């Protein structure tokens, strides 16, 4: 199973998380959300992970248009990892709702 990991980081913790997960998974591409030019729905991966820092009890501003650009591919597994400092609040619910608004389901959140 091929996984694409998209990350948004301020100080590097989310990048570290993406790299660590990629190592565990064995075969995973890592792409920065702020610089990625291609729409994630064009990814040929079976699973798509979105890894981001929690900012002010929610999603960082730049992650939102990125999620809006996602399109649910048939059979694709989407998951989110909210890297935080102890106050994740409702960030994963915000992500779930945002994904739902775009017509697809978050498989899991961590
Ligand atoms: C502007 C700002 C807002 C933050 N807001 C939260 C927050 O609401 N809840 C939380 O748990 N951590 C918060 N943090 C801490 C980061 O989520 C945490 O340090 C995280 O590990 C940083 O990940 P990064 O290195 O990928 O940016 C905030 C950090 C910054 C700089």
Query: Residue 51 C-alpha to ligand 1 middle, in angstroms?
Result: 13
Phi, psi of 101 (to 5 degrees): -60, -25
Which pLDDT belongs to residue 38?
63
Which pLDDT belongs to residue 64?
92
Domain residue spans of the chain: 3-109
Mean pLDDT by 10 residues, the chain (110 residues): 93 98 93 74 82 97 88 81 98 95 88
| Chosen CATH of 3-109 out of 3.20.20.70, 3.40.50.360, 3.30.70.100, 3.90.1010.10 | 3.40.50.360
Which pLDDT belongs to residue 88?
97
Token pair in block for residue 1: 């199973």
Q: Please report the beta strands in the chain, taking only residues with DSSP state E, as ranges in sequence order.
A: 3-8, 28-32, 47-53, 77-83, 108-109
Which pLDDT belongs to residue 37?
61
Query: Residue 42 C-alpha to ligand 1 middle, in angstroms?
Result: 29
Which pLDDT belongs to residue 69?
82
Question: In whole angstroms, what is the distance from residue 86 CA to residue 31 CA?
Answer: 25
Q: What is the pTM of this model?
A: 0.94
Work out which ligand 1 atom sits closest to the CA atom of 87.
11
- Do β-strands 77-83 and 47-53 pair in parallel, antiparallel, or remain unpaired? parallel
On the CB side of 83, how many CA atoms lie within 13 Å of its CA? 19
């Amino acid at each position: 199973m091929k996984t694409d990991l998209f990350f948004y980081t301020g100080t590097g913790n989310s990048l570290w998380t993406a790299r660590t997960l990629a190592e565990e998974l064995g075969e995973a591409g890592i792409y920065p959300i702020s610089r990625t030019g291609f729409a994630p729905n064009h990814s040929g991966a079976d699973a798509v992970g979105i890894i981001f820092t929690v900012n002010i009890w929610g999603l960082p501003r730049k992650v939102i248009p990125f999620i809006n650009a996602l399109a649910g591919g048939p059979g694709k597994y989407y998951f989110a990892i909210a890297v935080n400092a102890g106050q994740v609040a409702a960030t994963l619910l915000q992500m779930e709702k945002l994904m739902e608004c775009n017509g697809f389901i978050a498989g899991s959140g961590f």
